[in-house]
Structure 1
Amino acid sequence: MSEIHIQRAVPAAGIPTAASLRGWAEAARGRKKGEITIRIVAAAESQALNRDFRGKDKPTNVLSFPMGEPGYLGDIVICAPVVAAEAVEQGKAARAHWAHMVVHGVLHLLGHDHIQDDEAEKMEALERKLLARLGFPDPY
């Protein structure tokens, strides 16, 4: 199966529709098969996950949890208040920033990373390309 599941642990106000989230995830996933769950959370849940899995005791915009199981690519957790605040701080349209977070998260599930400079350049170039295809400006 290649479904994309959406879970909302926060009110829907200000969050793109499930159809939009799925469409962005499908665009980033490309031909790769496998289910993805996108969970939209509040700051407390994001902070707990970031602390427990990354050792950083603060909420963050997006976390990816690759599963490595046949048929299941993994989970993406997006913190709605952090994404909203970042969009304002960075002068970006909220919808464009949401699309970027979904694309970024899916690329992590596919094995892309940005720890090393050369990896970051490749991942950012792919993000730019995918977002441009979706009609969004360069997020960087």
Structure 2
Amino acid sequence: MEPLSSRPDPGRNAGAGMQGGAADITVVLATQGWRATVRQPEKLARRAVAAALQESGAEGAVTVLLTDDHAVKRLNHAHRDKAKPTNVLSFPGGMPGHLGDIALALGVVRREAREAGRRPEDHLAHLLAHGALHLAGHDHLLAGEARRMEQAEARIMRRLGRPNPWKEGRGRPST
């Protein structure tokens, strides 16, 4: 996949990336419905990704695409051969200094938050952390990997002042 950050700016870029020494985080707000669902979605995205990169010790640029289900469905089909939208997709970077891209589907995130009894902003923060951890090299294919990733996500959420998505009664996220 061509990195999102190398594509022409459609005029909806949330502004300059966050320069925090270790991370350059650019947020592209492609679907305005995010603003009706989450207060300051760009700021939340930058904070959650930065916290995940800090947790993992990773450095580099990340582009976050906050878009709709249709766009994520197209990406999921093109890159994973799955013809449905999913909550979050992570695409490793293809050039030095670029960790990769993260894309999130508004409708899926809203629906999952509602079904799990979570606030949309808490679910979004968790999915952003999850996607950023993937870019930093984490995975959850094996039980031990999954447990380490869940523990990292819990620490990130605590750092962000948000509830632990893995606590009993919070429902398991479908990532």
Q: TM-score if structure 1 supplies the norm length?
A: 0.94
Q: What is the deviation of 1:16?
A: 4.2
Gaps of 5+ in 2: 1-18, 167-175
Aligned-partner SS, 2:165: coil
- 1:27 is aligned to 2:48: no
| In structure 2, C-alpha distance between the alignment counterparts of 1:107 and 1:33, rounded to whole Å | 12
Partner Cα distance (2:39, 2:83) in 1: 27
Counterpart secondary structure, 1:69:
coil
Q: Unpaired segments of 5 or more residues in structure 1? A: none
Q: Name the CA distance, whole Å, in 1 between partners of 2:59 and 2:113.
A: 31
Question: Between Structure 1 and Structure 2, whose CA radius of gyration is higher?
Answer: 2
- The SS at the match of 1:6 is strand
Q: Which residue is 2:27 aligned to? A: 6
* CA-CA distance at 1:126 after TM superposition: 0.6
Cα RMSD (Å): 1.3
Q: Which amino acid aligns with 1:82?
A: V
C-alpha distance in 2, partners of 1:28/1:133? Answer: 10
Task: Provide the TM-score with structure 2 as the length reference.
Answer: 0.76
1:15 alignment counterpart: 38
Contact 1:16 1:98 in 2 (8 A): no
- For 1:55 and 1:115, the matched residues in 2 are separated by 18
Moved >3 Å (runs of 4+): none
Secondary structure in structure 1 of the residue aligned to 2:37: coil
What's the % identity of the aligned pairs? 40
* In 2: Cα distance, 1:113 partner to 1:93 partner: 25
| Count of residue pairs brought into register by the alignment | 140
